[in-house]
Chains A and B, each alone.
Chain A
């Protein structure tokens, strides 16, 4: 119960801080929209396979840029303050939930803009949307912990990319396969296995984050 209260407080604080400056949100949105536009100008039209892959590559880089900030932007004094008032588990859960919300919002806006600019036919729209949401969740859970590791190792954004790519690639492969199924309009029972494996990996990642973050935190 204490943990729950701490999580809610921290989450409220994150959202409030974001709402006041709107820096992260606007920055990411502009980033996504300009990347999509650059892709549009260079590709004009794309075959379905490229359409799908391109969307996920844009999302991947946007997510890395967005989530890399989540620990790096915190000042030393503020971190010390968190240490006083909350348990490490509460902090990491709050961060993960906040990043999930941010990424889902971003992914949905990106998807809308992307499908307006690039004309493409998606066979099973609901399943594609589910794939996008699952993808946003996977990116957030993995990158939150990696950004915590990278921030302890000298705030280097190259390091963030190096550390996160090998971990995210298996998830990305599954997500691309799932969204490809949705585009082809295959029967939903075909995709259940991918959804299950994705959910399982996310659970494992969250569990290991919860176990490991306290060690990272204690400094």
Chain B
């Protein structure tokens, strides 16, 4: 059980945010009303996605320097899990936007950036599918992953700051302080982010372990 403490921590954090997110008082703001509570559930998806893509980036670097096949497998599974979080983030954001900004896809730079970042990693998956030979596939896709990661960072963190956005914390005024967070909300928001990041990494690690087993079996059979 001692190795599983972080999984339990993630589970406890997520369960806590379900209770706290619905019951603890939130600031009363126009337009948002009670939907401000979506912050606890929608925003952590993006944090998990970015953390998972960063894990993929680090593992791609590790693969290029070591040539160990397992690093490549972990990079793929991080990307796979990250894409799932990205899609959930987009979908939940669209529902929220529909009720607060009046359209599921308002022309917002942050929304467009997130969609393009997801496209980038879908391209990574397509690239992997197009190469048969295992080592070659691992190497070329690692190169593409490392090449596109800095552009993704610019896309998500720099570009929305250059233009006006409906999202808080943008429009040349970055940072967390500008979120409409009061201390009550912080008490729920930070555990929510931590919890979902841990859950994301947990799912990724399980997929990675399944991949390892499959890989071993393939080697035995062939």
Q: A contacts B directly in the complex (CB < 8 Å)?
A: yes
Chain A residues at the B interface, C-beta cutoff of 8 Å: 145-146, 149, 152-154, 156, 159, 162-163, 165-167, 169-170, 173-174, 177, 193-194, 197, 201, 204-205, 208-209, 212, 215-216, 219
Query: Are B150 and A163 interface neighbours, CB within 8 A?
Result: no
Q: What is the minimal beta-carbon distance from B98 to any residue of chain A, in angstroms?
A: 24
Chain B residues at the A interface, C-beta cutoff of 8 Å: 64, 113, 116-117, 119-120, 123, 126-127, 130-131, 136, 139-140, 142-144, 146-148, 150-151, 154-155, 158-159, 162-163
What's the dominant secondary structure at chain A's contact region?
helix
Given the known interface contacts A149-B143, A149-B144, A153-B140, the answer about A170 and B154 at a Cβ–Cβ threshold of 8 Å is yes
Partner of A209, one of B119, B147, B162: B147
Partner of B159, one of A166, A174, A209, A215: A174
Query: Are A156 and B130 interface neighbours, CB within 8 A?
Result: yes
Given the known interface contacts A159-B126, A212-B143, A216-B143, the answer about A197 and B162 at a Cβ–Cβ threshold of 8 Å is yes
Q: How far is it, in angstroms, between the C-alpha of A165 and the C-alpha of B36 when the chains are bound?
A: 35
Residues of B within 8 A of A170 (CB): 113, 116, 151, 154-155, 159
Q: How far is it, in angstroms, between the C-alpha of A216 and the C-alpha of B64 when the chains are bound?
A: 10
Partner of A167, one of B120, B146, B162: B120
Q: Please report the number of residue pairs spanning A and B whose Cβ atoms sit closer than 8 angstroms.
A: 81
Q: How far is it, in angstroms, between the C-alpha of A205 and the C-alpha of B159 when the chains are bound?
A: 16
Q: How far is it, in angstroms, between the C-alpha of A26 and the C-alpha of B31 when the chains are bound?
A: 58
Q: How far is it, in angstroms, between the C-alpha of A58 and the C-alpha of B103 when the chains are bound?
A: 31
Query: Are B143 and A166 interface neighbours, CB within 8 A?
Result: no
Q: How far is it, in angstroms, between the C-alpha of A204 and the C-alpha of B147 when the chains are bound?
A: 9
Query: Are B123 and A169 interface neighbours, CB within 8 A?
Result: no
Query: Are A194 and B151 interface neighbours, CB within 8 A?
Result: no
6 A-B residue pairs with Cβ-Cβ distance under 8 Å, sorted by A, are A162-B126, A167-B147, A167-B151, A177-B163, A212-B64, A212-B147
Q: Which 10 A-B pairs have the closest CB atoms?
A: A166-B120, A166-B119, A170-B155, A212-B143, A162-B123, A204-B150, A167-B151, A169-B116, A153-B131, A163-B123
Of chain A, the residue at the smallest CB distance from B155 is A170
Query: Are A165 and B119 interface neighbours, CB within 8 A?
Result: yes
Query: Are B126 and A215 interface neighbours, CB within 8 A?
Result: no
Query: Are A194 and B162 interface neighbours, CB within 8 A?
Result: yes
Residues of A within 8 A of B142 (CB): 215
Of chain B, the residue at the smallest CB distance from A170 is B155
Q: What is the minimal beta-carbon distance from A78 to any residue of chain B, in angstroms?
A: 20
Given the known interface contacts A166-B123, A174-B159, A216-B140, the answer about A154 and B147 at a Cβ–Cβ threshold of 8 Å is no
